């Protein structure tokens, strides 16, 4: 029951933050860039500024699906960002290019997060099944062992969520610094870009807190069985 309550609370908070982010994106999608550049052009210019010529800029699908793939060196921008000539598109495109700059400069936190991906992928797939059996097998021989495994799996995914925070905040800081220095965003445009990226970062904060609270709950559950 405790687990359900925790998940329910953070799912609700996550939904609120996600809706707020979408609202901000729509708001700043109606604020055109004074220079009239598209998100793709912003990305190309930022990468060129940092001397990065081996990263591909591609158009993805969906809304707010933008990401940087270090394995393929690809900045994938959603259609609205790729073609958009507004503050939201510039902010998101610059943020994803911030990850490319991190990769190019061997940013330690990004390297650590990338190295964790195989283990996190396995842990994320296993933890939901482990949790179902571990919390459901009170008094059954071996249930404590399952709970240990569940805690280990959640520990890996929680660490990944925490490591993601400095990676995302640093990418946003790099993006905002470049947008300001290059005069791609000015005055209220820059404040809008900052606001949009702050709400984007908040989604990662909520995810990390949710994962951490669940991990602590599982540890307390194990301690209560001893």
For the record, the structure tokens of 124 come out as 């994320």
> Does the residue 72 lie in any domain?
no
pTM of model > 0.85: yes
Q: Calculate mean pLDDT across residues 154-180.
A: 97
Helix (H) or strand (E) holding 55: none
Residue 140 has pLDDT above 50, yes or no: no
Q: Spell out where 60-209 has E strands.
A: 67-69, 74-77
CA dihedral 198, 201, 205, 207 (to 10 degrees): 140
> Does the residue 219 lie in any domain?
yes
Which domain covers residue 160, as residue numbers?
A: 2-36+87-96+106-225
Residue 222 has pLDDT above 80, yes or no: no
Q: What is the pLDDT of residues 50-79, one digit of tens each?
A: 999 999 999 999 988 999 999 999 999 999
Helix (H) or strand (E) holding 200: helix 188-225
> Does the residue 58 lie in any domain?
no
Q: What is the pLDDT of residues 142-164, one digit of tens each?
A: 467 788 888 999 999 999 999 99
Catalytic residues: 96
> Does the residue 76 lie in any domain?
no
Q: For residue 59, what are the β-bridge partners?
A: 77
Interatomic CA distance for residues 156 and 210, integer angstroms: 14
**Considering its fold, how many domains does the chain have in total?**
1
């Amino acid at each position: 029951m405790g687990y359900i309550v925790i998940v329910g609370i953070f799912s609700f908070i996550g939904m609120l933050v996600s809706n707020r982010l979408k609202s901000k994106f729509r708001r700043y999608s109606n604020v055109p860039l004074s220079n009239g550049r598209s998100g793709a052009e912003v990305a190309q210019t930022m990468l060129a500024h940092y001397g990065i010529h081996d990263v591909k800029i591609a158009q993805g699908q969906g809304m707010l699906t933008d990401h940087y793939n270090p394995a393929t060196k690809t900045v994938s921008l959603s259609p609205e960002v790729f073609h958009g000539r507004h503050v939201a598109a510039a902010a998101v495109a610059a943020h994803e290019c911030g990850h490319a700059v991190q990769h190019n400069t061997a940013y330690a936190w990004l390297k650590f997060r990338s190295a964790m991906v195989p283990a996190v992928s396995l842990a994320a797939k296993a933890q939901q099944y482990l949790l179902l059996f571990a919390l459901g097998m009170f008094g059954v021989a071996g249930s404590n062992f399952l709970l240990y495994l569940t805690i280990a799996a959640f520990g890996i995914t929680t660490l990944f969520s925490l490591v993601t925070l400095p990676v995302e905040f640093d990418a946003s800081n790099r993006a905002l610094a470049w947008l300001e220095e290059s005069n791609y965003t000015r005055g209220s445009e820059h404040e809008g870009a900052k606001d949009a990226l702050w709400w984007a970062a908040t989604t990662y904060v909520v995810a990390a807190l949710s994962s951490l609270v669940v991990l602590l709950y599982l540890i307390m559950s194990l301690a209560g069985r001893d």
